[in-house]
Amino acid sequence: PKYLPREDGTPGQSNGVACAAIEHKMGLKASATCQMNFDDSIGWIVGEPGKGMAAMFTMMNTERVSVGIQGLGVGEAAYQAAAWYAKDRIQGRALSGPKYPDQAADPIIVHPDVRRMLMTMRAYNEGCRALSAWVSRALDAEKHSPEPEVRQRASDFIALMTPVVKALFTDLAFDSANLAVQCYGGHGYIRESGVEQYARDARITMIYEGTNGVQALDLVGRKLGAHMGRYLRSFFHPVSAFIEENNVDGPMKPMIEALGKAFGALQLSTATVAQRALKDPEEAGAASADYLRLMGLVAMGYCFAKATKIAGLQLFFGSEDKRFYDAKIKTATFFFERILPQATASFLAIKAGKKSLMALEDDVF
């Protein structure tokens, strides 16, 4: 407390608590951050001694999912701003010829590189949103399901996916915010546009409630081997079953094959990390960030594949939301063709191990 309480509970003398300075931050300026001084201050233990870490992580795990959702929110806002600007800003003509001949120039959304940025942002957001819904359903099941087995399975899945949601969503949010600035060009670098704030504000989500590097270490160091791999089964089993059930000839076959390859890379990476970590914990640390990204890409791919299957059925039965479901399939196709291939790069980086990462002497940096 700022003032020591008297016996009757009213504020008494100063407890030596003072704000020394307000920090000047890159972003998140609506929330003040300050330096606090505690000079000969008296504090009280809240709860049982020695139980503080457990209490903190009860809060921290929930907050990590919440921060991931913050990232998704920033990424969506950045995408909407960029999409609006790309349709409004006219400059040049489409490479294949004028698309809007009645205007002085075509809107920049006709240009392939602008569409690459917009589609990347859109795919990130839709993939993260679908994955967040999957995790959110598990959060509900963990708390409210009447079946103990369902509650346990949901708890395992949440434990595994919490670091993925926190780190993946916020990494991609910053990427989306950065792409929004790029879509705006020089105008995006000016504060008046508003999109530069997304980049500044999104950056903190990669840091607080446990940096994304810590999330990756938590995933590889604590979650993979927990209970003899039980957490992993909550994710691997449904993905494996979906691939097996849907690996048939049809319009979805290329997606299922791509998902199967990425999932295979994740399985191999899991075995590699587990084997190497037993001999050298630095190997697990060296692989952690790439492993988390690989798991996140597979999880998003699984969600996109399920969404595509549902969208295809809705279109087949003549849904009135034809444009919505058609856009869902096209976004999923972009994800599988242009984003999921990053899984191969992550796998190769994991396979390379720690040698080149740890080779340079400290004093050479």
Active-site annotation, residues:
209
Q: Which residues of 164-193 are buried (b: 16+ CB within 10 A; e: fewer)?
A: bbbbbbbbbbbbbbbbbbbbbeeebeeeeb
Beta bridge partners of 107: 90
* Spatial contact of 60 and 209, defined as CB atoms under 8 Å apart: yes
All residues at 6 or more sequence positions from 313 whose CB lies less than 8 Å from its CB, including other chains: none
Query: Which secondary structure element, helix H or strand E, spans residue 18, and what is its range?
Result: strand 17-22
Dist CA 191 CA 202 (whole Å):
15
The DSSP secondary structure of 100-163, one letter per residue, reads: -TTSSS-BGGGSHHHHHHHHHHHHHHHHHHHHHHHHHHHHHHHHH-S-HHHHHHHHHHHHHHHH
Q: Which of 352, 336, 240, 343 is nearest to 294 (CA)?
A: 343
- SS3 of 19, please? strand
Dist CA 72 CA 78 (whole Å):
10
Beta bridge partners of 97: none
All residues at 6 or more sequence positions from 243 whose CB lies less than 8 Å from its CB, including other chains: 256, 259, 260, 263
Give phi and psi for 329, each to the nearest 5: -65, -40
- Token reading at 241: 């079953």
* Spatial contact of 299 and 164, defined as CB atoms under 8 Å apart: yes
Q: Which of 191, 184, 165, 350 is nearest to 270 (CA)?
A: 350
Dist CA 169 CA 174 (whole Å):
9
What is the distance, to the nearest Å, from the Cα of residue 4 to the centroid of all Cα atoms in its chain?
43
